[in-house]
A = this chain, B = another copy of it.
Amino acid sequence: MEKFYPLSDIVSLLQRYARGELSPTQLVERIHVEIQHDPDHVWITPLPLESLKYYASQVEAKGMAELPLYGIPFAIKDNIDLAGVPTTAACPAFAYTPSRSATVVRRLMDAGAIPIGKTNLDQFATGLNGTRSPYGACRNAFNRDYISGGSSSGSAVAVAKGQVCFSLGTDTAGSGRVPAAFNNLIGYKPTKGWLSAHGLVPACRSLDTISIFALTAADAARILEVSAGYDAEDIYSRQREEYNFDFGAVSHFRFAVPRRQQLQFFGNLESERLFYEAVASMHTLGGEAIEIDFEPFLEAARLLYEGPWIAERYTAIQSFFESQGDQIIAPIREIISAAKQYSAADAFKGYDQLRRIKQQADQIWQRVDCLLSPTAGTIYSVQAMQQDPIRLNTHLGYYTNFMNLLDYTAVATPAGFQHNGLPFGISLVAPAHQDMPLLHLAHRLQALYSLPLGATGIALPKTHFPDVLQSSQIRIAVCG
């Protein structure tokens, strides 16, 4: 391993810059060489060297003092706009070249981060496996016979390989979490509305959010602080509210675990073992497990693809679907075609049904601070996925599809390895606006597990959770 490649976490890289061991220009030159060879279909549009050097010179001119993400390279899922570079959504016929960057991309670049390129995805962000792309099936960073997970496939693998320090994905049904689990990463799905969706190709507009892949929960928290904020250009943007209390930092907290018979591992005994090890790890951190009825969550999850929300996917690309539907790959075209069977009355009934389910599901928050579940019950080979593309994809969303429908926030966190060397991940879940305690808890879990970072082989650095949390804690509500 070279001194600075593959990349480690943000703090480590900033320290190298500070010590003068390396410059952003040197780093992007090295990354550029590395990503030219891309047998695993990670990238759709890697930026040309002259662009990378231009961005690097820009941040070098400003200097480290004012830039919290000085020279930090990142990848962008190719359904998020970067000015001047095509956005394909993994559908060449759909591609357009935006003149403005997405709000989140702009904020990151304003903070000194350097975009390296646009990454592969399941077309129109519809899928959880990473094989649904005309740019090739993205391969798992640990074993290229296995799926990367999706839809944010390339963004996850680029971070796992240490090609970038972090990346942007999107997460409607689990696209920001499933690939994190399959590549030993933090996959942070923020509270809906915290990160602007301006400049994002919508999948299901009321449920979409940009998500963050990082090597550590502390990095995810840093990236959040730079990229979040109300944006009048996003109709689903909303103001951050204070969290209730930092259950991620205390010696006793309560977490929900689904009843054993409601857990699904689809025959993977390794995942089951690793999940119960994660429950034990939570105990070690001071967590008290409370068994809950998971059925309302599963019922909400089923609504997403077996109900009228399919019609929201259709509205997102309606004119393209009607004019060039034959350019959409078969499984996705079939899924979206189902939209037409739903009436407005079905939509309103579905919305009522969701309200009822949410009311039931929300009851657990009176008893617990967060929920622990597997991120995915199992993983599949690329071959198996291609042979049974719809059913196996449904399995992958068993623990993730409900999240945005129920307005929860989640952090997918590494939780060990199967004997075959593939990673396993768990998800920490909490109500909207409880993101910081959740990231804090993920930070402590990472420290406890002390797994190497992504697929880089680099040891987890000893870092403190950033003080963004503390500054946020200054705002306290006193009620009597």
Give A contacts to B, CB under 8 Å: 205-206, 232, 235-237, 308, 310-312, 314-315, 318, 339-340, 342-352, 355-356, 359, 474-480
Residues in chain B near residue A340, CB distance under 8 A? 343, 345
By the criterion CB–CB under 8 Å, are B479 and A314 in contact? no
How far does the alpha carbon of A78 sit from the alpha carbon of B285 in the complex, in Å?
A: 57
Q: Give the distance to chain B from A338, nearest Cβ to Cβ, in Å.
A: 10
By the criterion CB–CB under 8 Å, are B235 and A355 in contact? yes
8 further A-B contacts with Cβ under 8 Å, apart from A236-B355, A342-B345, are: A235-B352, A235-B359, A312-B348, A315-B352, A344-B350, A476-B478, A477-B477, A477-B478
By the criterion CB–CB under 8 Å, are A474 and B480 in contact? yes
How far does the alpha carbon of A308 sit from the alpha carbon of B351 in the complex, in Å?
A: 13
Q: Which residue of B lies closest to A479 (CB)?
A: B475
Q: Give the distance to chain B from A126, nearest Cβ to Cβ, in Å.
A: 16
Q: Which residue of B lies closest to A311 (CB)?
A: B344
Q: Which residue of B lies closest to A346 (CB)?
A: B344
By the criterion CB–CB under 8 Å, are B356 and A345 in contact? no
Contact A232:B359 (CB < 8 A) given known A206-B351, A352-B205, A352-B206:
yes
Residues in chain B near residue A348, CB distance under 8 A? 205-206, 308, 311-312, 315, 347
Residues in chain B near residue A312, CB distance under 8 A? 344-345, 348
Q: Give the distance to chain B from A415, nearest Cβ to Cβ, in Å.
A: 35
Q: Give the distance to chain B from A340, nearest Cβ to Cβ, in Å.
A: 7
Contact A347:B235 (CB < 8 A) given known A476-B478, A478-B477:
no
Residues in chain B near residue A355, CB distance under 8 A? 206, 235-236
Q: Give the distance to chain B from A243, nearest Cβ to Cβ, in Å.
A: 14
Copies, count: 2
By the criterion CB–CB under 8 Å, are B315 and A349 in contact? yes
Chain B CB within 10 Å, residue with most, of A308, A347, A349, A476: A347
- Taking a contact as CB atoms closer than 8 A, the residue among B310, B347, B352 that contacts A347 in the complex is B347
Q: Give the distance to chain B from A270, nearest Cβ to Cβ, in Å.
A: 40
Residues in chain B near residue A478, CB distance under 8 A? 476-478
Q: Which residue of B lies closest to A347 (CB)?
A: B347
Chain A to chain B: the 9 pairs with minimum beta-carbon distance, closest first: A311-B344, A342-B344, A347-B347, A235-B355, A344-B347, A308-B344, A312-B348, A478-B478, A311-B345
How far does the alpha carbon of A308 sit from the alpha carbon of B346 in the complex, in Å?
A: 11
By the criterion CB–CB under 8 Å, are B351 and A344 in contact? no
Can you list 27 A-B pairs, Cβ within 8 angstroms, ordered by A? A205-B348, A205-B352, A206-B352, A232-B359, A308-B344, A308-B347, A308-B348, A310-B344, A311-B348, A312-B345, A312-B348, A315-B352, A339-B344, A339-B345, A342-B343, A342-B344, A343-B343, A343-B344, A344-B344, A344-B346, A344-B347, A347-B347, A474-B480, A475-B480, A476-B478, A477-B477, A477-B478
Residues in chain B near residue A359, CB distance under 8 A? 232, 235, 237
Residues in chain B near residue A346, CB distance under 8 A? 344
Residues in chain B near residue A474, CB distance under 8 A? 480
Q: Which residue of B lies closest to A204 (CB)?
A: B348
How far does the alpha carbon of A344 sit from the alpha carbon of B351 in the complex, in Å?
A: 11
How far does the alpha carbon of A416 sit from the alpha carbon of B308 in the complex, in Å?
A: 49
How far does the alpha carbon of A347 sit from the alpha carbon of B312 in the complex, in Å?
A: 9
By the criterion CB–CB under 8 Å, are B477 and A479 in contact? yes
Chain B CB within 10 Å, residue with most, of A318, A339, A359: A359
Q: Which residue of B lies closest to A205 (CB)?
A: B352
Residues in chain B near residue A477, CB distance under 8 A? 477-479
Residues in chain B near residue A351, CB distance under 8 A? 206
Chain B CB within 10 Å, residue with most, of A315, A340, A480: A315
How far does the alpha carbon of A205 sit from the alpha carbon of B315 in the complex, in Å?
A: 24
How far does the alpha carbon of A235 sit from the alpha carbon of B311 in the complex, in Å?
A: 23
Q: Give the distance to chain B from A335, nearest Cβ to Cβ, in Å.
A: 14
By the criterion CB–CB under 8 Å, are B347 and A318 in contact? no
